[in-house]
């Protein structure tokens, strides 16, 4: 599927390259009070950096979301991060205009609501603690590349290779051993941008998006993402479209991930492009 690359100035709303995308955007513009705007965090709202602890939302992201949120049914952040971490790094708490923001974290397993300021989470999966305990020994045994490191995520654990001298080779070398470790403990491996995460099965961004869209009775959806974990949300939007709910798929473009480009209605230039698009949408709806 062809996609349009964003080259518009701030204030212009780009036209999706597909009919489905144009229908989705038209529906959002015609009935904004029914629209769900759902956004991934890392790589979509926040530029990618070597240290996840240093990642922050693009400086214009929060003001833009605060301008957009009152015009639509809901704004949600759908992320692999623990929701509290995304809220902290995003600067999403206590922002006028974002009183109803929802963060669906851990691929939808945990949820933060701005209304209550609290996180709801299911019981931890015992396999995560077991896998976590084995992980350092496994990385030693397989001779993981120097610079490979473990991110503790609470209900998941992730292995990053961005800081290795050959990040992609380090990533590929870990795929099989981490898949084996995950299987032995009833977990799944979630591959991302130079990260392999071991997490409980049963939830993904697609399930999270569908459930939330149903919960609020969304009449249209825009979803923007950059990474492989966002493909499930893309599939969810395809399902919504097939059942009569229009939607727009936006790829936050990067050199690292190409899969989303193929399926998107609109390709924008990373987090700056996403913010520009959302700002143009907010301006049109105001």
Ligand X SMILES: O=P(O)(O)OC[C@H]1O[C@H](O[C@H]2O[C@H](CO)[C@@H](O)[C@H](O)[C@H]2O)[C@H](O)[C@@H](O)[C@@H]1O
Is position 50 an interface residue for ligand X (rule: CB under 6 A)? Answer: yes
The distance of closest approach from Cβ of residue 137 to ligand X in the complex, given in angstroms and rounded to an integer, is 22
The distance of closest approach from Cβ of residue 46 to ligand X in the complex, given in angstroms and rounded to an integer, is 6
Per CB under 6 A, the segment of 11-19, 20-28, 112-120, 193-201 that binds ligand X is 193-201
**Hey, which residues between 69 and 88 contact ligand X (CB under 6 A)?**
79-81
What are the Cα distances from residue 246, in Å, to 73, 113, 121, 184, 222?
Answer: 14, 25, 30, 41, 9
Is position 204 an interface residue for ligand X (rule: CB under 6 A)? Answer: no
SS3 sequence, the chain? Answer: CCCEECCCCCCCCCCCCCHHHHHHHHHHHHCHHHEEEEECCECCCECCCCCHHHCCCCCCHHHHHHHHHHHCCEEEEECCCCHHHHHHHHCCCCCCCCCCCEEEEHHHCEEEECCCCEEECCCCCHHHHHHHHHHHHHHHHCCCCCCCEEEECCCCEEEECCCCCCHHHHHHHHHHHHHHHHHHCCCEEEEECCEEEEECCCCCHHHHHHHHHHHHCCCEEEEEECCHHHHHHHHHHHHHHHCCCCEEEEEECCCCCCHHHHHCCEEECHHHHHHHHHHHHHHHHC
The distance of closest approach from Cβ of residue 45 to ligand X in the complex, given in angstroms and rounded to an integer, is 8
The residue (of 45 and 181) whose beta carbon lies closer to ligand X is: 45
36: tokens are: 């769900």
51: tokens are: 């240290």
**Hey, which residues between 226 and 265 contact ligand X (CB under 6 A)?**
227, 229
Is position 48 an interface residue for ligand X (rule: CB under 6 A)? Answer: yes
Is position 11 an interface residue for ligand X (rule: CB under 6 A)? Answer: no
Q: How many residues does the chain have?
A: 286
Is position 153 an interface residue for ligand X (rule: CB under 6 A)? Answer: yes
The residue (of 25 and 139) whose beta carbon lies closer to ligand X is: 139
The distance of closest approach from Cβ of residue 34 to ligand X in the complex, given in angstroms and rounded to an integer, is 25
Per CB under 6 A, the segment of 28-36, 41-49, 142-150, 266-274 that binds ligand X is 41-49
The residue (of 6 and 40) whose beta carbon lies closer to ligand X is: 40
**Hey, which residues between 77 and 136 contact ligand X (CB under 6 A)?**
79-81
Query: Which of 16, 24, 41, 247 is close enough to bind ligand X by CB under 6 A?
Result: 41
The residue (of 34 and 193) whose beta carbon lies closer to ligand X is: 193
Is position 155 an interface residue for ligand X (rule: CB under 6 A)? Answer: no
Q: Are the beta carbons of 273 and 1 closer than 8 angstroms?
A: no
Q: Is 9 exposed, middle or buried (0-12, 13-18, 19+ CB in 10 A)?
A: exposed
Is position 219 an interface residue for ligand X (rule: CB under 6 A)? Answer: no
Per CB under 6 A, the segment of 14-22, 119-127, 141-149, 192-200 that binds ligand X is 192-200
The distance of closest approach from Cβ of residue 85 to ligand X in the complex, given in angstroms and rounded to an integer, is 8
Query: Which of 68, 195, 196, 260 is close enough to bind ligand X by CB under 6 A?
Result: 195
Q: Which residues bind ligand X (CB under 6 A)?
A: 40-43, 48-50, 52, 55, 79-81, 151, 153, 158, 160, 162, 192-195, 197, 227, 229
């Amino acid at each position: 599927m062809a996609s349009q690359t964003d080259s518009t100035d701030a204030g212009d709303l780009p036209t999706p390259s597909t009919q489905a995308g144009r229908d989705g955007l038209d529906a959002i513009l015609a009935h904004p009070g029914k629209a769900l705007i759902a956004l991934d965090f890392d790589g979509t709202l926040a530029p990618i950096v070597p240290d996840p602890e240093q990642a922050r939302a693009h400086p214009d992201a929060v003001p833009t979301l605060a301008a957009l949120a009152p015009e639509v049914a809901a704004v949600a952040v759908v992320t692999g991060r623990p929701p509290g971490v995304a809220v902290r790094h995003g600067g999403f708490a206590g922002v006028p205009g974002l009183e109803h923001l929802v963060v669906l974290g851990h691929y939808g397993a945990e949820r933060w609501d701005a209304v209550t300021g609290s996180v709801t989470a299911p019981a931890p999966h015992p396999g995560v603690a077991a896998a976590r305990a084995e992980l350092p020994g496994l990385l030693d045994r397989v001779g993981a590349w120097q610079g490979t490191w473990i991110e503790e995520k609470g209900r998941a654990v992730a292995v990053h290779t961005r800081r290795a001298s050959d990040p992609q080779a380090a990533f590929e070398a870990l795929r099989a051993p981490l898949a084996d470790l995950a299987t032995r403990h009833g977990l799944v491996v979630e591959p991302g941008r130079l990260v392999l995460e071991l997490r409980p099965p049963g939830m993904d961004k697609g399930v999270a998006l569908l459930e939330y869209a149903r919960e609020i009775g969304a009449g249209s959806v825009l979803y923007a993402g950059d990474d492989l974990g966002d493909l499930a949300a893309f599939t969810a939007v395809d399902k919504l479209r097939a059942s009569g709910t229009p939607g727009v798929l936006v790829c936050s473009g990067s050199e690292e991930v190409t899969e989303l480009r193929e399926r998107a209605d609109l390709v924008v230039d990373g987090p700056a492009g996403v913010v520009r698009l959302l700002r143009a949408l907010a301006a049109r709806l105001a």
